[in-house]
Structure 1
Amino acid sequence: MQFDTRSLWIYLHFPQLQLDQLNIDKDKPLAIVDTKNNQICQLNAHAQQQGIKLGMGLASASLSCPNLLLHEYNYDIEVHAITHLANALYFVCSDIALAPPQGIALRAQNMLQLYGGLSQYWPLIKQCLAQQQVHYLASSAYSIQAAKVLALCKQSLISEKRERIFKALLKCDIAASDIDSKDKVKLLRIGVKTISDLHQLASAELANRVSRVSMSLIHELFGKQAAKVKFYHPLSTYSDYLELLYEVHLSARLLPVLNKCISKFSDFLLLRNAHALSINITFFQRDNEALRHTFNSIQGIYKTSQWLDIIELQLSNISFASPVYALRIECTHYETAQSSNVDLFNQKASHVAALTLLSRLQSKLGEQNIHQLRFKADFRPEQSTHKSKFTQGQRACNKSTNYNNSDGLAITSQHQVMPTSIFADRPGLLLETPEPLTVAVQVIKGPERIQTGWWDNKSVMRDYYIGQSEDGQQVWIFKTPNKQWYLHGYFV
C-alpha cells in the first residue's frame, strides 16, 4: 500500500531489544555478543561503566571486565519482541509497519485528529512503551525513511513542522539510511557523507552513480516519492519464546519468568477482548527432550494473576530431568468475553468463585480426579443423579446444553432437570442409602407416591412425606408397602 508524502510517521528504534527481554538482574554488567564477528552489539549501563563499548571484540571485552555476563545474539528473539510491541502499540495506533528486528513505524497522521494533535498523542505512545520497559529512539517525519534516519542518528525529534524536520535531517549521516552499502561507498568517494551533501547533488548525477533501488530510497527520503508499506495485523494465535540467561533447576524459580511471559499473553487477550481456557507451555531442557504441559481453566480468564495461580499449583507437581534454559507459551484457541447487564442481587459472583475453585482443584489434583453430580430424568431419588468427570466440555458456565451419558439418558443442567413444582419438596441433603426411621416424627406434608423402575429391575413403590422431629429438624421420610418407615434426607 502506498501513501502520499503528507502523512506524518513516527519511527521507533530499539537498540538493545534482546537485552531488554532478559529477565535477570540488570545491576550487573551485561552484553550481547554477535557470534558472526565476535563483537559486542548490545550492552547495559553497568557494562559501559566498566569500559565496554559497542563493536568491541569479545577477547578485549572479557579482559576489560572479567565479570561481564555474555549472551549470544538471537535474531528470532528480537522478531518476537517486535511483534509483541506491535500488539501493545495497537491500542493507540491503527497503522503499524514492522521493520524487524529493531524497528517499528507508526502512521500518526490519521490519529492526530482523534487525539487533538501530536502534543497529546505522543505521550500516549511514551506511556505504552514505558509499560513494556524497553529502551528506544524515536523521531517523526513525513516519510518512513526520513524518520528512521533521524531516529538512528539520535535526533529524537517529535514535531509536525516540516522546516524543523528538514533541517535536522540535513545534519544526519547517510550511513543511517537504507541506501545500498555499495552505493554508500561510491558516494563517500566523492565526498558525500551527510544528507546535506546528498541533497546538493542533482538527481541526474545521482542516477548515474547509484542503483534504482537506492535512487527510490533517496526520493523517499526527501519526500518526492511515496513508500510502499505493508501494515501489521495482529495474529489470531499467540506464541512467545523466552530464552533464560541462567539454567533453572527448580520449578519455583520459573515463576518470576513466567510472570513476565503471562503478562504479555494477558495483553494479547485484552487487545482482543478475549478469554482463554488453556495455554501450552513448553520447557526446553538441557540434554533432554522438551517438556510440553497444558494448563487448563474451567472458566475463561485473561488476567495474569489468575493464570499464575493455576500455573503455580500445577508447576509444583512437575519435575524436570535437566535444567530449563528456555520457555515457549502458546495459545491457539480463545473465546470472546461475554458481557451482560446484571442486577446487584444476582448470583454471578458466587458462580464465578465456584469456577475459580474448580480451576484450582483441577490444577492441584488433576482433571481426572475432579467429579461432579449430574442430573438424570428419573424420579427415583437414588437414580436421579450420577457422578461424572468435570471436563472442559461440561463447564458449569455452559448454557442449557444437553449431553448423553453411557446409558443414553438425558443429562441437563441443574436448572433444567424437571419443572420446579415437582422437585420443590426435595431435601438439600440426600442420604446415599435410606436408613430405618428411629425417632418420633410428625408428618407435616404428604404423601407423594413414587412408583417406577419396572423396566430395569430396580423398581420402587414408596410414599414420601415431609416430617419434623421433636428438635425441629425437617426430614424426608417414606413408607414402603410393608408399612416400614425409612429416613432418606434432611432439609437444610
Structure 2
Amino acid sequence: MHWACLLLPQLALDGVLRRHPSPHEPLALLTGPAQRRVLHAVNPAAKTLGLRAGMGWAAAQALCSGFTTVEHDPEATERLRRLLAAWAYGFSSQVSTDLPHAVVLEVGGSLKLFGPWPRFEARLREELQALGIRHRITLAPNPQAARLLGNVGDGLALDDDDLVTGLGRIPVDRAGLPSEVATALSRMGLRRLQQVFALPRDGLARRFPRDLLSWLDTVRGLQEAPLRHYRPPDRFDSRIELEHEVESSQALLFPLRRLTADLAAFLAGRDGGVQRFVLRLEHDRRTDTEVVVGLLAPEREASVLFELARGRLEQARVPAPVRGLRLLARELPSFVPARRDLFDLRPQQAVPWLQLRERLRARLGDDAVHGLAVQADHRPEHAWRRLDRDDALTIKPPVSRRVRTSAVSSSVEVITPLPGELDNGIPIPRLRPGWLLSEPHPLPDHGLRLLAGPERIESGWWDDGDARRDYYLIETGTGQRGWAWCPAGTHGPWTLHGWFA
C-alpha cells in the first residue's frame, strides 16, 4: 500500500487568509484567556514586523502597530480540515483525519487512474494551492510513517525497502513524540530514530510507556494501527463571518467566490452535483435574508456555481448590513457530465446551452427564461405556448387551407399542401420573422414595398377569434423588413406583426 500525507502546518491561518480581503497585509491570530492573550499564528507580513507565534499580546502591541488581529477558532479550523478530507475523497476511498494536523489517503489503488506518483503529487499540489492551503506532501507504505516524514521535509517518499533506513535518519526531537519521551531519549544520548530502533525492547518497555513500543512498530510497518475512514456528509454547510458590516452586494462577491469554490471541491470529492442551495445573509438583530439558487439540472463547476449565485445575489434586496454569509446545500443528486464529442470544435469562449440557460435565469429571473412549444394553430399569436418545465413538446400543425394570390393580378389559386411539400417541384416558402410582436399594431402604408406574398391564413372560427389575413414580407422607407398583414382580399389597412433581422 502507498499512503500520502497532506500535512497542513498553517491550517488555522490559511482558513482566515483565504477569506480575508487583504491577505498580504500583516495579520495575527489571537488565542488564550483574557488575562494572557498570545499570538497563535502570524502571516509572513506580520513576521517582517517582528511578530512571532507564542508572543504575548502586550509585547506585540509594544513592538509594533498597524497589524490586524483575528480570534483563533479551533472549530472553524477543524471544519476546514473536514472539507479537505471531502476533497481528498475524490482521489481515494480511504481517507482519514485521525492523525494530527494532517489528512492521509491511500493512493496505491489510484495511481492507475491518476498516473504515476510524480504526476499525481503535482495535481494534489495544484488543487491545494487553488484552495489557498499551504501544505507538505509525503509518501510512505503506511499512514503513520508518511505523517512522520512530514515533520522533516516536503516531497519525501519511501517504499518498503528503504522505510526503516529512511525513518532512522529522522531526529528524535522531530519525530512527533510526547515532549517528556523525547526529552528522556535525548538525555540518554539518543539523537536519531535509528538509535531508538536498535534499543532492546525489554528496556524500552520498563522505562517508557507502552505506547512508545506500539508507535515504533507501527511506523516501521510491523503492526497496523486502524484509522477511522472519512465518509462525506449528505449536506454542505459553510459560513464566513465578515470582518465588518457590508451593505453592498458587490462586497459579498469575494466570500461568495470562496464558498462556491469550497462547494465545488466538496461535490467533486463525492462525485455529485447540486441542484439547489441557499445563501443566508446574516444581520444583527434581524432575521437572516435567504437567497435561493435553483438549477434545472445538477451542476458542480465552481465558476458556474459562482456566476449563478452572483446573479441571484445581485437581484436580492438586502434590508440591512450583512455580518456573515452562509451557504447551505441539502439537495445533492448524482451528477452526469455533459456528453462531448471526441473532437469538440466549439470555440473556447462558447458556453454550453445548459450553462447559458442557468446564467440567464439567474440574471433575469425564473419567469424571464422559459421554453416554447408548438400548438396546433396557424394564427401566429396562438401557434406557440409557454413551457415552464425543461422538456419541450413538438406538435405537428394540422392541414389547413392556404391561398396564394398574385400581387399584380386578381387571379387566385387555392392550394392545400402540408408544410414542406412541393408545389410543381418548388418548395413553398414559409417566411416567419425572428421577432414576433406581442401585440400587432397599425403600420402606415406610405413608403412600403412588398417583397413577397401574400400568404393567406384563415383560422380560429371555433373560438370566436376568426382570422382571415393576407401576410406579406414588406420593407419600410428606412429599409427595415417586417411581416405585415391586411384583411384577406384587400390591400389595407396594414398591421405589423413582426420584424426580420
TM-score, normalised relative to structure 1: 0.72
What count of residue pairs does the alignment treat as equivalent? 455
Structure 1 residue 104: deviation in Å?
A: 1.0
Structure 1 residue 152: deviation in Å?
A: 2.9
Q: Which ranges of structure 2 fall in alignment gaps of 5 or more residues?
A: 400-416, 421-429
Describe the superposition over 1:87-141 as per-residue Cα deviations: whole angstroms up to 9, x where unpaired: 4445655543223773111324345566775455433433333333322234333
Corresponding letter in the other structure for 2:32: T
Distance between the aligned counterparts of 1:473 and 1:155, measured in 2? 70
Distance between the aligned counterparts of 2:41 and 2:57, measured in 1? 12
- SS of residue paired to 1:129: helix
Match of 1:251 in 2: 249
| 2:163 is equivalent to residue 165 of structure 1 | no
Distance between the aligned counterparts of 1:461 and 1:326, measured in 2? 57
Residue in structure 2 matching 1:27, options 19, 24, 28 = 24
Corresponding letter in the other structure for 2:25: K
Match of 1:295 in 2: 293
Describe the superposition over 1:197-249 as per-residue Cα deviations: whole angstroms up to 9, x where unpaired: 64344334444566666653342133220121333345554333333344434
Q: Which ranges of structure 1 fall in alignment gaps of 5 or more residues?
A: 1-6, 401-412
- SS of residue paired to 1:173: helix
Residue in structure 1 matching 2:459, options 450, 454, 465 = 450
Matches within 5 A, 1:93-492: 93=92, 95-99=94-98, 102-111=101-110, 118-154=117-153, 157-160=156-159, 161-169=162-170, 171-173=171-173, 176-177=176-177, 195=193, 198-207=196-205, 215-269=213-267, 276-297=274-295, 302-316=300-314, 317-330=316-329, 332-334=331-333, 335-341=335-341, 352=352, 356=356, 359-360=359-360, 362-364=361-363, 366-367=365-366, 375-378=374-377, 382-385=381-384, 394=389, 398-400=390-392, 413=393, 415-416=394-395, 418=397, 425=430, 427-428=432-433, 429=436, 432=439, 449-450=458-459, 452-453=461-462, 458-461=463-466, 465=470, 475=484, 479=488, 489=497, 492=500
Describe the superposition over 1:5-31 as per-residue Cα deviations: whole angstroms up to 9, x where unpaired: xx3333222121121132332333222
In the superposition, relative to structure 1, how do residues 461 and 351 fare at CA in structure 2: closer, same or farther (>3 Å)? farther
Match of 1:83 in 2: 82
Distance between the aligned counterparts of 1:250 and 1:373, measured in 2? 37
Distance between the aligned counterparts of 1:336 and 1:143, measured in 2? 34
Describe the superposition over 1:348-376 as per-residue Cα deviations: whole angstroms up to 9, x where unpaired: x999569736744x445543566776554
Distance between the aligned counterparts of 1:155 and 1:11, measured in 2? 10
Distance between the aligned counterparts of 2:156 and 2:343, measured in 1? 51
Distance between the aligned counterparts of 1:140 and 1:354, measured in 2? 41
Structure 1 residue 254: deviation in Å?
A: 1.8
Superposition RMSD in Å = 4.7
Structure 1 residue 341: deviation in Å?
A: 4.2
Distance between the aligned counterparts of 2:468 and 2:235, measured in 1? 59
Contact 2:280–2:290 (Cα < 8 Å) also in 1: yes
- The answer to which of 58-67 and 200-209 deviates more is 200-209
- SS of residue paired to 1:176: coil
Distance between the aligned counterparts of 1:462 and 1:94, measured in 2? 67
In the superposition, relative to structure 1, how do residues 101 and 64 fare at CA in structure 2: closer, same or farther (>3 Å)? farther
Corresponding letter in the other structure for 1:459: D
Distance between the aligned counterparts of 2:365 and 2:114, measured in 1? 50
In the superposition, relative to structure 1, how do residues 485 and 427 fare at CA in structure 2: closer, same or farther (>3 Å)? farther
Describe the superposition over 1:235-294 as per-residue Cα deviations: whole angstroms up to 9, x where unpaired: 554333333344434322222232233233344455667664443222233444433211
Distance between the aligned counterparts of 2:131 and 2:26, measured in 1? 21
Distance between the aligned counterparts of 1:190 and 1:154, measured in 2? 26
Structure 1 residue 488: deviation in Å?
A: 8.1
Distance between the aligned counterparts of 1:268 and 1:127, measured in 2? 16
Contact 1:32–1:43 (Cα < 8 Å) also in 2: yes
Describe the superposition over 1:170-215 as per-residue Cα deviations: whole angstroms up to 9, x where unpaired: x2337714x6x88889989988886456434433444456666665
In the superposition, relative to structure 1, how do residues 93 and 128 fare at CA in structure 2: closer, same or farther (>3 Å)? farther
Distance between the aligned counterparts of 1:9 and 1:252, measured in 2? 43
Contact 1:279–1:329 (Cα < 8 Å) also in 2: yes
Distance between the aligned counterparts of 1:155 and 1:364, measured in 2? 45
Distance between the aligned counterparts of 1:434 and 1:312, measured in 2? 39
